[in-house]
Structure 1
Amino acid sequence: MACRTSFLKAVLIVLNVLLSLIGVTLIALSVYELNSSTPGTFEHIAIVVQIFVGTFVVLTSFLGCFATARVSLGLVWSYVICLLILLCLQIYIIAAAHSTDYVERSKKDFLVIWADRSANVERITLLQQKYSCCGQLGAHDYILMGRGIPLSCYRAQERRENTLFTEGCQQAVQAHATDNVAIGLIIKWLLLLVEFGALGAATHLGITVRNKLRRERF
């Protein structure tokens, strides 16, 4: 019995460390993306949700470590409840991620920004520097509009022919969204698997501790 409890505690500690690392990674990536996202867009809302989930994951992992160290039945079951909430939320997010075309949404968000260029000069400048792109389909967009190519279309904002970004921002934004979707799904599935493992170990630990307490009473 003591060996089983020690083993479950060790497994839970490892899983909770993994949970906290994944949660912190999710928060860090989301905060990085948040700085360059446009408030009100689908991307911005999704990033805020990811930050919330990442924070909840980290807090839950701390609770799991504390419950495991104390071997408190009440704390263990509280941890199990938090994991169940996380799992339900995670399953919903994964289902939504698979049913949502983030690439197409990113394209639509960009086209909305590009359609009102005069009101989104700073935003377009930021996008061009961040994604190393120029215009909607390329630098020729500015030429067709009878405008000079802005400095943000050049690497390090140095107006030289060999530093001009050739890729259009629409394509760059879509490529970035594709990469984000792939990375996001990997993190979400990994998080789901770790949560299932932690749930199983925590439930087993809770049952073991409960049975031990019952035997001690008699």
Structure 2
Amino acid sequence: MPTVRVCLQWTSVVFSTLTLIVGVLAALAGVYELDKFNEGSAEHTEKFVQLGMAGALILAGLVGCLGAIFGSIKVMVVNLILLLALIASHIWKVSHYSETKQLDATEVYVMDLWMKELVHHGAMQDLQQEYECCGDKGFSDYTSLNMKVPRSCFHTKDGIHALYPYAEGCMAAVKRAYLQIYRYEKWVHCGLIGYEVVGIILGITLCCQLTNKTRRYTY
């Protein structure tokens, strides 16, 4: 039925557009987080993997839109292959999920910044301001070494600094924040698997409708 086919085509266009938007947002998030990790580290490499998956989402969105608009079965098959590859990559990511590994990587990251702070004062500034923490384990890390507690260790409002520095150390604060993000990313991957399965079902249904249309023209 032409009406069903047209509805499927426009539904596929909307779905592919959403896929394109999700891919762009994932790419922007990956680029933003890339600078947070040392080059060559496991986390830094994982962000490149995220960028690759985001690129595949963008490509799948573009191909899906073109296939649906022009009613091309061959283009839709390419879109289905891309979605299957994305599902496989999400499953791979979820299967390698390890909170212990994530915590170890975060510990190395914070400790590296703290070591730099001891040599060049100010290396911890951005981290302390963003996560409202102080030092490695607390502000006593500074005082025990006869170092001045930096301004980034104090809560600031309207240009006025708090009397006392943040009590929590950056190791605990950053570990907690990064672990929360890591858990969130796991559920995002699971959600995308379901989303892409819907896309595959939609794509196969549309391909069947387009095949029936081709057969009618042949007859």
Letter in 1 for 2:27: I
8 A Cα contact 1:114 1:120, kept in partner: no
Letter in 2 for 1:193: G
Letter in 2 for 1:132: E
Letter in 1 for 2:145: M
8 A Cα contact 2:9 2:68, kept in partner: yes
The whole-number CA distance in structure 1 between the counterparts of 2:129 and 2:35 is 14
User: 184-193 or 70-79: which moved more?
Assistant: 184-193
Unaligned runs of 5+ residues in structure 1 are none
The whole-number CA distance in structure 1 between the counterparts of 2:193 and 2:82 is 13
1:79-109: CA deviation from partner (whole Å, max 9, x where unpaired): 1111111111121112223576323321233
DSSP 3-state at the match of 1:97: coil
Q: After superposition, where does 1:34-49 map in structure 2 within 5 Å?
A: 34-49=34-49
8 A Cα contact 1:128 1:169, kept in partner: yes
Letter in 2 for 1:186: W
User: 151-160 or 185-194: which moved more?
Assistant: 151-160
From the superposition, tell whether residues 73 and 161 of structure 1 become closer, same or farther in structure 2 (CA, over 3 Å). Answer: closer
The whole-number CA distance in structure 1 between the counterparts of 2:200 and 2:190 is 15
8 A Cα contact 1:19 1:194, kept in partner: no
Unaligned runs of 5+ residues in structure 2 are none
8 A Cα contact 1:110 1:170, kept in partner: yes
The whole-number CA distance in structure 2 between the counterparts of 1:15 and 1:97 is 28
Letter in 1 for 2:15: L
Q: CA deviation at 1:121?
A: 5.0
The whole-number CA distance in structure 1 between the counterparts of 2:89 and 2:123 is 32
**Are residues 1:149 and 2:188 paired?**
no
Greater relative contact order structure (CA < 8 Å, 6+ sep): 1
Q: CA deviation at 1:168?
A: 0.6
Aligned to 2:82: 82
Aligned to 2:70: 70
Percent pairwise identity: 23
User: 70-79 or 110-119: which moved more?
Assistant: 110-119
The whole-number CA distance in structure 2 between the counterparts of 1:63 and 1:44 is 29
The whole-number CA distance in structure 1 between the counterparts of 2:114 and 2:194 is 40
Q: CA deviation at 1:143?
A: 0.7
8 A Cα contact 2:106 2:175, kept in partner: yes
Give the aligned CA root-mean-square deviation in angstroms: 2.5
The whole-number CA distance in structure 2 between the counterparts of 1:120 and 1:44 is 23
1:129-157: CA deviation from partner (whole Å, max 9, x where unpaired): 22221101111111111211123323459
> In proportion to residue count, which structure has more helix?
1
Aligned to 1:166: 167
**Are residues 1:213 and 2:214 paired?**
yes
DSSP 3-state at the match of 1:181: helix
Q: CA deviation at 1:75?
A: 0.9
Aligned to 1:52: 52
From the superposition, tell whether residues 113 and 208 of structure 1 become closer, same or farther in structure 2 (CA, over 3 Å). Answer: same
Aligned to 1:106: 106
The whole-number CA distance in structure 2 between the counterparts of 1:38 and 1:69 is 43
Q: What number of residue pairs does the alignment pair up? A: 218
Q: CA deviation at 1:20?
A: 2.1
Q: CA deviation at 1:33?
A: 1.8
Aligned to 2:9: 9
The whole-number CA distance in structure 1 between the counterparts of 2:141 and 2:160 is 17
The whole-number CA distance in structure 2 between the counterparts of 1:35 and 1:187 is 22
Q: What TM-score comes out, normalization by structure 2 length?
A: 0.86
